[in-house]
């Protein structure tokens, strides 16, 4: 086991950050491809983008909190170097999907 001497919230919110970034990108694709989804998101807050932001922020907070509770409240056991790679991979993947979608698919 590598060094995990960081707070459990560093791990839990780091994983949540990577996950939320990917979900953010997938939500872009889904809402741009489905008028129904866009209409529902528009209806919730009045602006589909505001709903989009709210969903991602809620997911980030929820997963950060939830990941911290697993392992009897100790949080996930993951090496910090692996966490770093996961966060960077999540951000890069999310960024590429969003940029690629508007560049090619939309």
The per-residue DSSP string of 36-70 comes to: HHHHHHHHHHSSHHHHHHHHHHHHHHHHHHHHHHT
Residue at token pair 């991979």: 89
- How distant, in Å, are the alpha carbons of 22, 78, 99 from that of 72? 27, 15, 39
Residues 53-92 that bind other proteins (CB under 8 A): 53, 56-57, 60, 79-81, 83-84, 87-88, 91
CB 71 → other proteins: shortest distance, Å?
18
Q: Is 51 in the site for other proteins (CB under 8 A)?
A: no
Range list of H helices, 70-100: 80-100
Restricting to residues 11-40, name those near other proteins by CB under 8 A: 13-14, 17, 20-21, 24-25, 28
Among 1, 72, 73, 103, binds other proteins (CB under 8 A): 103
Cβ-based nearer residue to other proteins, 71 or 84? 84
CA angle, corner 10, sides to 23 and 89, nearest 5?
40
- Could you give the angle at the alpha carbon of 106 between the alpha carbons of 33 and 93, nearest 5°? 85
Name the residues that contact other proteins, by CB under 8 A.
Answer: 2-3, 5-7, 9-10, 13-14, 17, 20-21, 24-25, 28, 47, 49-50, 52-53, 56-57, 60, 79-81, 83-84, 87-88, 91, 94-95, 98-99, 102-103, 106
């Amino acid at each position: 086991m590598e060094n995990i001497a960081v707070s459990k919230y560093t791990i839990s919110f780091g994983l949540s950050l990577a996950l939320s970034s990917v979900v953010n990108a997938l939500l872009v694709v889904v809402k741009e491809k489905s008028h129904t989804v866009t209409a529902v998101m528009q209806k919730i807050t009045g602006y589909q983008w505001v709903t989009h932001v709210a969903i991602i922020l809620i997911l980030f907070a929820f997963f950060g909190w939830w990941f911290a509770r697993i392992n009897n409240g100790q949080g996930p056991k993951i090496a910090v170097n692996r966490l770093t790679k996961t966060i960077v991979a999540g951000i890069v993947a999310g960024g590429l999907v969003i940029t690629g979608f508007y560049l090619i698919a939309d």
